[in-house]
Amino acid sequence: MEYCVTTKNNDSWYIGTNDFDLFKADKTEAIMFQGNGYLGIRATAEERNLNERRDMFVAGTFDAFNDEVTELPNLPDLLNMEIVINQRAFSLSTGLIENYHKHLNLKNGELVRSFDWLIDGNRISFKFSRFVSMSDVHLFVSKLEITSDQSDLSIKLNSGIDGQYSNSGTQHLVEGDKRLFDGKILQMQEKTQQTNIGFAFNVTQKAYIDEVLLKVKPNIRMDRRQIFDEYNVDLTKGEKFTFVKYANVYTTIDNDVGHDTISDISMDAIKRSSLLNYDELLNKSTNAWNINVWQRSLISIDSDDVKPQVAINFARYQLAANTPKDSRMNIGAKGLTGEGYKGHTFWDTEIYMLPYFTFTMPEMARNLLKYRYLGLDGARKKAKANGYWGAQFPWESAWSTDGEMTPPWGSVDIVTGKPMRILSGSLEQHITSDVVIAVMQYLSITKDERFAEEMGYEIILDAAKFWASRLEWDPARKKFVIDNVIGPDEYKEHIDNSAFTNYTAFWCIQKAIAVVGLLRNSNPEIYNELNLRLKLDDAYQDWISKVDLIFLPKPNEFDVIPEDDTYLQKKIIETTQYQSDGGHAKIFKDYNLQQINDLQVTKQADVLLLVFLFEDLFSDDIKLANWNYYEPKTTHDSSLSFSTHSILASDLNLADKAYDYFERACEVDLGTGVGKSAQGLHMASIGGIWNMIVEGFGGIRVLDGQLRIEPHLPSKWNSLHFEINWHGSLLKIDVYKDTFQVSVLGDAITFINHNEIYHVAANSKIEIPISIEVNVED
């Protein structure tokens, strides 16, 4: 396992680099991203560099340019510090740089960059520190320290708000007022072109020599979309220049402030913030990180190799930094870390990220699921537009209520010159099942009856209505089939009876039938209300009449479940050379999509995802047979693929494979693959890091509402310790080589281990020996 970042003194809470390559910076910019779920800033430098991607986003502030789908606008830059010393413009590419260190403290999100700049015979020491606050989500504070023991310095510093950035050339923001308040607060207001979301950005700055606040009045510099303070400071040899920049951003869709007055509110806020110094504000943020994130659930790995612990710390840091607490918005496929996928949300949240939140921060999971509830109207519209009933969830979604946001047209086929239709928005229909899977998992783990009654049941029932209407009768098979979809294997478009799609549709209808039964018996009031709105009596009859006639692709004579109606009849090729690191699609160098459609090649876990998620439907033999069949045919062109493979390999006791896929998943972002994270981090793969450790190595699973614990500790690890919530109790699970312990804080719980049911009394502990039959790996 090789990472592009190093730790500091083997401390798993620090990632960074002691080297810089300005032409490869776009990867570490994403990895050392800073955010708090509201505000996100890439780890570009304060001074501008070529090839940087200087992105700042606020979650949920979607806007459309012309007739494109909405995306998160790249906001005015608050990082900028333009430094001229002794007439020399500072840049990493002039003079010499020594002692370069750039490290992100994952514990509190502080990014520190320090180095010596050797120029014109002088050695000048720089230290930049900054953080996006976790205690005040609007706040971003940065600090610059400059000193030289060799000569006096004449420092010119320009710093402020720079709104000349865009989304790769596309500009969403209309310039509003630029103002100077009280002679010291810079403010810029902007609004989005079409969605009319207002922004107020504020900056106030303080300069010190040897801790003494300077009384210098900066010059104000304004240009189009720009407002800066210009400081001119003379520094005597040996003195330290310190510069602190307080910045904030407020929007008219913030749910914590009045919307009409963000100019005043944000200005008052920056005034209050600037009463405290950098360390005081950082301490508040550090406390918030501890309370909101780190104290919520421990996860620690005892291993000679620090990298797995770095990976899980990194994953939890990024999940916290990129997840909005506002249920009107969700986690983008790239979080807030880059322009990729326009900030849109996919099934990545439900299948790859929600397990972490549901098990450790149920209130966050609830927000993320409420987002789907708020999206029901859009999902109903989509269903209706396509001729179906119920709710068909959008493949890509942005603002909760805006419905389908998949761009209808993709890039142009450069040979024919015709734009290519993006089909996932209409054909990748399993997203509706994925939402139900996550809702059911949330209900099983939390027993949150209120959520079920207020939101969860309605999602499940309306999803089932969609699926029931989606089924088509096949007179030959005498079964209900689902034609013309895209499954998780996106290499295959327009396929019939995708195993993943059909099984999950069947399961959704089963769950809805169960919900109706439950409500009719135990909660008639709610049933009647839902029945009135959703016509449940009719729907129930429909489900009952169809559910047992749904065509479920059965394992063939070799126990292999066909991915779809025709997959197993297609040509088999050697796939090794096309195995990907989760990104670059090497197979397209030799085949075009039409040709790949005729091969037994799979982009990512598809049938394997099915047998992982619905393991109670399939025997171990079938799981192994499908692993052996599909795993060699999978290119992992989607970064979503590795974690499923790792967990399933753990389940199947394929320890080496499980660990190999674990490492490959960690390397999707943390690895050395150049350019891989330029468009942003792979949030689903990052969610998968937790899943692999807890669900794979930790062996945690929810099966038909029951908790199962069957750890598979990697041989390189001495022990694994983690915490999850179950039915309101906190479970601390310690996994050792030969045994594992479950300690319960709270009410008594039960769990299954190798088909045995274990009861753990309230606030007590149990220890169980581990015995694993190791499968022979190929």
In the complex, which residues of this chain contact its own copies (CB under 8 A)?
23, 48-50, 65-67, 89, 91, 93-94, 163-171, 174-175, 177-181, 183, 193, 220, 222-225, 227, 411-412, 414-415, 417, 419
- Tokens at residue 216, please? 């210098």
Q: Inter-axis angle of helices 362-374 and 457-470, to 10 degrees?
A: 50
CA distance 178 to 387: 50
How is 476-529 classified by DSSP, letter by letter?
Answer: TTTEEE--SB--S-TT--SBSS-HHHHHHHHHHHHHHHHHHHHHHHH-HHHHHH
CA distance 76 to 249: 10
Give me the least distance between CB of 523 and its own copies, in Å please. Answer: 50
Distances (CA, A) of 170 to 5, 71, 128, 490: 32, 10, 30, 28
| Alpha helices by DSSP H, 213-297 | 262-273, 278-292
How is 626-656 classified by DSSP, letter by letter?
Answer: HHHHHGGGB---STTHHHHHHHHHHHTT-HH
Give me the least distance between CB of 224 and its own copies, in Å please. Answer: 4
Give me the least distance between CB of 93 and its own copies, in Å please. Answer: 4
Of 334 and 430, which has the nearer Cβ to its own copies? Answer: 334
Distances (CA, A) of 746 to 66, 291, 379, 764: 54, 19, 39, 9
Of 66 and 569, which has the nearer Cβ to its own copies? Answer: 66
Q: Which of 46, 82, 396, 490 is catalytic?
A: 490
Of 154 and 292, which has the nearer Cβ to its own copies? Answer: 154
3-state secondary structure of 299: strand
* Partners of 481 in the β-ladder: 472
CA distance 568 to 577: 21
* Residue 490 known to be catalytic: yes
Give me the least distance between CB of 51 and its own copies, in Å please. Answer: 8
Give me the least distance between CB of 484 and its own copies, in Å please. Answer: 27
Of 419 and 705, which has the nearer Cβ to its own copies? Answer: 419
CA distance 721 to 683: 23
Which letter, b or e, does each residue of 346-363 get, where b requires 16 or more Cβ atoms within 10 Å of its Cβ?
bbbbbbbbbbbbbbbbbe
| Rg (alpha carbons) of the chain, rounded to whole number | 27
Of 51 and 255, which has the nearer Cβ to its own copies? Answer: 51
CA distance 457 to 515: 7
Give me the least distance between CB of 501 and its own copies, in Å please. Answer: 31
Annotated ligand binding at 541? The verdict is no
Give me the least distance between CB of 629 and its own copies, in Å please. Answer: 34
Give me the least distance between CB of 322 and its own copies, in Å please. Answer: 22
Residue 514 makes CB contacts below 8 A (sequence gap 6+) with: none
CA distance 402 to 63: 11
In one-letter notation, the amino acid at residue 399 is: W
In one-letter notation, the amino acid at residue 749 is: I
Of 225 and 701, which has the nearer Cβ to its own copies? Answer: 225
Of 48 and 206, which has the nearer Cβ to its own copies? Answer: 48
In the numeric block, the tokens 């790995």 are attached to 301
In one-letter notation, the amino acid at residue 239 is: E
Annotated ligand binding at 347? The verdict is yes
Annotated ligand binding at 741? The verdict is no
Annotated ligand binding at 348? The verdict is yes
How is 355-376 classified by DSSP, letter by letter?
Answer: HHHHHH-HHHHHHHHHHHHHTH
Please work out, in degrees rounded to the nearest 5, the angle formed at the alpha carbon of residue 179 by the alpha carbons of 174 and 180: 155
In the numeric block, the tokens 């322009």 are attached to 339
Of 52 and 377, which has the nearer Cβ to its own copies? Answer: 52
Distances (CA, A) of 467 to 373, 406, 691: 17, 20, 28
Of 413 and 616, which has the nearer Cβ to its own copies? Answer: 413
Give me the least distance between CB of 431 and its own copies, in Å please. Answer: 25
How is 119-140 classified by DSSP, letter by letter?
Answer: ETTEEEEEEEEEEE-SSSTTEE
Catalytic residues: 490
Residue list for the binding site: 347-348, 603-604
Residue list for the binding site for substrate: 347-348, 603-604
